[in-house]
Amino acid sequence: MNAPGDLLHNTIEKFWDTIPSVWGYVRGNVRANAIKDFSLTLIQFHILRHVCHGIDSVGELAEKQQISRPAISQAVDLLVEKGLVERRRAKDDRRYVHIDLTEAGSELLNSVFKKNRLWMAEQMAGLDEHQLQTIINALDVMKDTFVSSCN
For 59-105, the pLDDT digits (tens) are: 999 999 999 999 999 999 999 999 999 998 878 877 788 899 999 99
How many CA atoms lie within 13 Å of 41's alpha carbon, on the beta-carbon side? 11
Q: Map residue 80 onto helix, strand or coil.
A: helix
This prediction has a pTM of 0.74
CB 51 within 8 A of CB 99: yes
Chain segment 41-67, per-residue pLDDT in tens: 888 999 999 999 999 888 999 999 999
Query: Where do the structural domains in the chain lie, given as residue ranges?
Result: 5-150
What CATH number has the domain spanning 5-150?
1.10.10.10
Q: Which amino acid is at 128?
A: D
Across 77-93, b (16+ Cβ under 10 Å) vs e yields eebeeeebbebeeeeee
